[in-house]
A and B are shown apart, each in its own frame.
Chain A
Amino acid sequence: MPEQLAFTIEVFLNGLMAGVLYALVALGFVLIYKASGIFNFAQGVMALFAAMTLYGIMNGQVPFAHLINAIFGTEIHYFGWELPALLAIVMTVAVMILLAWMVQRFIFRYLVGQEPIILFMATIGLAYFLEGVGDLMWGSDIKTLDVGLPQGINETIDEATFNLFGYGLFIDNLDIVASIVAIVLVAALVAFAQYTKQGRAMRAVADDHQAALSVGVSLNFIWILVWSLAGFVALVAGIMWGAKSGVQFSLSLIALKALPVLMLGGFTSIPGAIVGGLIIGVGEKLFEFWIGLPYLGGATENWFAYMLALVFLVFRPQGLFGEKIIERV
């Protein structure tokens, strides 16, 4: 087996793994967009915030320690305990649910019925707010989040492929775990939406707000539920990305890359988010490998996803799986 082909396969697989992570972030967007028509720009910052909170709780940081010290001249930093990862995750989920409630209670309750673009801008404001609060609460230094996920090269695959092709494929354990978690998460979400009472209510709201209201579904509750779910997805994405490249501001920029994923897949489709994520992940890695590095000087990953989405949308404005856009005067 020629080296070049093996390289390509490796790049392809790594792209697939990256795509899974993009899809994970994109999933959070789709959940909220379907249920409330809000295009939640803050999804990335939510992932960052969740990862920071998880780190803070695990290491027993005092929230707002920096600010409190500055105001009162005290010197407090840590509670002095370290929590096991699982307990910390549960507590972080609680924080994200609280956040969902607050977002619904203090922002979007007042914006019901506004134009989508106003809602979109409100979420940009929310993103900045949350970023500032996150930094104030937990400090803005880069943190290495370690919840006990396996890291480093997977030696079994390396050896197996070396024996088969004479070339060991380099695949990170973390990527494999992330893919499995993402698949489980998607399956769980689909099952939740299909088979539970709340899931049905959620789908009803997504179909038609007024009809859902008229059969007794509480919009308020569903929206809080959806924001909580998005918060949970954000937490998972935050853990994965945080373990991969540290908890830092760039995490929220990675979420920007979920946008072209959504555009490819269509804003309203969960399978679309996944397929879109895989296409973008594989596409940008292969483009970088074949064209970017040899001809364009590298770092094409920064813009390839957006350009792909841009070109794609010109031909199919609703994305791959989106509902057909019908416009009326």
Chain B
Amino acid sequence: MFYREAGDFSTTYPQDSQTFPIKFDRYRYYVVLFIAVVIIPFVINDYWVNSIFMPFLIYAIAAIGLNILVGYCGQVSLGTGGFMAVGAYACYKLMTGFPEVSMFIHVLLAGGITAMVGVLFGLPSLRIKGFYLAVATLAAQFFLVWLFNKVSWFYNYSASGQINAPQRDTFGILITGPNTEAWATYMFCLIFTIFSAVVARNLTRGSVGRQWMAIRDMDIAAEIIGVNPLKAKLTAFAVSSFFVGISGALFFAVYLGAVEVGEAFGITKSFLVLFMIIIGGLGSIFGSFAGAAFLVLLPVLLKIIGVDWFGWPTDIVAHLNLVIVGGLIVVFLIAEPHGLAQLWRVAKEKLRLWPFPH
């Protein structure tokens, strides 16, 4: 793995500690940002936003969140769906309670509330480890979904038990409700995605991130060299749930608009996000994006190929999707346990040495 390249000198300390130390990476990052922020909003339409970009951006946030917990801190969680539900319902209550406040604030607050719930369910992680913890987080998943189903205060006593996002704006631009424009919702999600990625990237390469990784690699050894496991684990749960909560809020308010909790945030959602980070790469921010893109695009592609080209019934395509996702996970774990991110890294290294690898 390259940390530095020959001929790429840094002459000041800020240069030395920047996020992307290799020049090529840095420029690529700027190009991607430029395309995402400046070009895409002008060429985008409703179909692209709703079937590809928005799910991708929102799942990317959730994947980053889960990756912090599972990939960086090594605490396996199957409660992502439940925490996304917390974000969604917190956002809903805030939106209906304080209609005049900007959506930005609501989504961030929803993240904060989810972080608190996350810490609460993270407390057992101090005693329980490994699989036991994975199953314990199922308690969060099922309990939270049940709670949002049963306590009618959460859905403002609506008869259907659903929550519907009312029309809200930020800086005078409609973000939620039926009359939004494609570019506005896209930009709104994009801002949160970039924010999450930057924060996560910088947290994970700083002191907190190193503590998480120490806990992941071996918690007892980490404790002995002076990492406080209480602090490390709980911050991981808090930060992870914060991002997951944001993605849940966006998923409900901006993307779906109306949500029935058991359907939108059930156990399958937890697994979907977990698969994203396995396929994308555990312990990698880029991997979170890659995994989210992969699992968002795969069903769309399969649908185009299977239903539109071959004219198969949709249920067969849905089942094939399951087979392919399941098969891919196994293949990835056997061939490349570090996922797409590692493939990308290896390819990059090979290409940079090409054509003189020795």
Partner of B136, one of A128, A262, A310: A310
For residue B158, give the distance in angstroms from its CB to the closest CB of chain A.
16
| Beta-carbon contact of B139 and A329 below 8 Å | no
- Tell me the minimal C-beta distance from A327 to chain B in angstroms: 6
A206 within 8 A of B: no
Query: Is B142 a contact of A299 with CB atoms below 8 Å?
Result: no
Q: Is the Cβ of A130 less than 8 Å from the Cβ of B139?
A: no
Residue among A111, A306, A327 facing the most chain B CB atoms (10 A cut-off)? A306
| B139→A67 contact, CB < 8 A | no
- Check A256 against B128 for contact (C-beta < 8 Å): no
Interface 1/0 per residue, B134-167 and A, CB below 8 Å? 1110110111011001110000000000000000
Is the beta-carbon distance between A118 and B337 smaller than 8 angstroms?
A: yes
Interchain CB contact under 8 A, B334 and A310 = no
Interface pair A129/B326, CB less than 8 Å apart: yes
Kindly specify which of A86-94, A131-139, A158-166 makes contact with the partner chain: A131-139
Are A124's CB and B274's CB within 8 A? yes
Indicate if the CB atoms of A263 and B323 lie closer than 8 Å.
no
Given contacts A125-B327, A327-B220, contact A136 B146 (CB under 8 A): no
Q: How far is the CA of A309 from the CA of B330 in the complex (A)?
A: 29
Q: Are A309 and B136 in touch, CB under 8 angstroms?
A: yes
Interface residues of B in 107-133 (CB under 8 A from A): 124, 127-132
How many residues does chain A have at the interface if contact means C-beta atoms less than 8 Å apart?
Answer: 52
Q: Decide if B224 is an interface residue (CB 8 Å cutoff).
A: yes
Instruction: Kindly report which residue of chain A lies nearest to residue B222, judged by CB atoms.
Output: A329
Q: Choose from B146, B275, B321, B333 the contact partner of A302 (Cβ within 8 Å).
A: B146
Which residues from 49 to 67 on chain A have a C-beta closer than 8 Å to any C-beta of chain B?
66-67
A120 touches B329 (CB 8 A): no
Identify which of residues 159-181 in chain A touch chain B, using a CB-to-CB cut-off of 8 Å. Answer: none
Contact B220 A127 (CB under 8 A): no
List the A side residues contacting B31 at CB < 8 Å: none
Which residue of A121, A122, A306 is within 8 Å of B135 (Cβ)?
Answer: A306
Cross-interface CB contact of B337 among A39, A114, A297, A309, cutoff 8 Å: A114
B150 partner residues in chain A, CB cutoff 8 A? 296-299
Contact status A300-B146, CB under 8 Å: yes
| A 231-249 binary contact with B (CB < 8 Å = 1; else 0) | 0000000000000000000
Interface size on B, residues (CB 8 A): 51
- Residue B315 lies at the interface, judged by CB distance under 8 Å to chain A: yes
A121 in contact with B329 (CB, 8 Å):
yes
| CA–CA, A135 and B181, complex, Å | 39
- Cβ of B322 < 8 Å from any Cβ of A? yes
Could you tell me the distance between the alpha carbons of A314 and B126 in the complex, rounded to whole angstroms? 9
Chain A CB within 8 A of B353 CB? no
B86 CB, nearest partner CB in chain A, Å: 15
Q: How far is the CA of A136 from the CA of B329 in the complex (A)?
A: 19
Judge whether A107 and B334 touch: CB under 8 Å.
Answer: yes
Q: Answer yes or no: B313 CB below 8 A from chain A CBs.
A: yes
Q: Contact at B323–A133, with CB atoms within 8 Å?
A: yes
B90 to nearest A CB, angstroms? Answer: 20
- A309 to B129 Cα, complex, angstroms: 13
Q: A307-318 interface mask toward B, CB cutoff 8 Å, 1 = contact, 0 = none?
A: 101100110010
Q: Which residues of B contact A124 (CB under 8 A)?
A: 271, 274-275, 329
Chain A residue contacts of B316, Cβ below 8 A = 66-67, 70, 136
**What distance in Å separates the Cβ of A322 from its nearest Cβ neighbour in chain B?**
10
* A132 and B333 form a contact (CB under 8 A): no
A residues less than 8 Å from B139 (CB atoms): 260, 303, 306-307, 309-310
Q: Is B312's beta carbon under 8 Å from chain A?
A: yes
Cα A120 to Cα B131 with chains together (Å): 8
State the Cβ distance, B244 to closest chain A Cβ, in Å. Answer: 19
A126 is an interface residue with CB less than 8 A from chain B: yes
A32 nearest CB across to chain B (Å): 13
A121 touches B326 (CB 8 A): no
Verify B323–A259 contact, CB threshold 8 A: no
Q: Is A116 an interface residue (CB 8 A)?
A: yes
B33 at the interface (CB under 8 A from A): no
- In this complex, what residue of A is CB-closest to B79? A306
Chain A residues, Cβ within 8 Å of B322? 128-129, 131-132, 135
CA distance A133 to B141 in the complex (A): 27
For B321-346 the 0/1 string (1 means CB < 8 A from A) is: 11111111110011001000000000
> Nearest A residue to B328 by beta-carbon distance?
A125
Task: Report how far A133 CA is from B316 CA in the complex, Å.
Answer: 10
> Residues of A contacting B275 with CB < 8 Å?
124-125, 128
CB distance from B78 to the nearest CB of A (A): 9
CB-nearest residue of chain A to B262:
A302
Contacts of A299 in B (CB 8 A): 146, 149-150
Residue numbers in B under 8 Å from A1 (CB-CB): none
Does B135 contact A129, Cβ atoms closer than 8 Å?
no
In the complex, B273 has a CB within 8 A of chain A = no
Q: Is the CB of B146 within 8 A of A116?
A: no
Residue B35 lies at the interface, judged by CB distance under 8 Å to chain A: no
Q: How far is the CA of A89 from the CA of B142 in the complex (A)?
A: 34
Chain A contacts for B352, CB-based, 8 A: none
Is A195 close to B, CB under 8 A?
Answer: no
Which B residues are CB-close (under 8 A) to A111? Answer: 333-334
> Is B142's CB under 8 angstroms from A302's CB?
yes
Q: How far is the CB of A20 from chain B (nearest CB, A)?
A: 21
**Which 10 residue pairs of A and B lie closest in terms of their CB atoms, listed nearest first?**
A129-B326, A125-B329, A132-B322, A128-B326, A132-B323, A306-B139, A303-B142, A303-B143, A135-B319, A125-B330
What are 28 A-B interface contacts by the 8 Å CB criterion? A39-B131, A66-B316, A70-B311, A116-B131, A117-B76, A120-B131, A121-B329, A125-B278, A125-B328, A127-B326, A129-B330, A131-B326, A132-B324, A132-B326, A136-B319, A263-B136, A267-B131, A296-B150, A302-B145, A303-B139, A303-B143, A306-B135, A310-B136, A310-B139, A313-B124, A317-B127, A317-B129, A317-B132
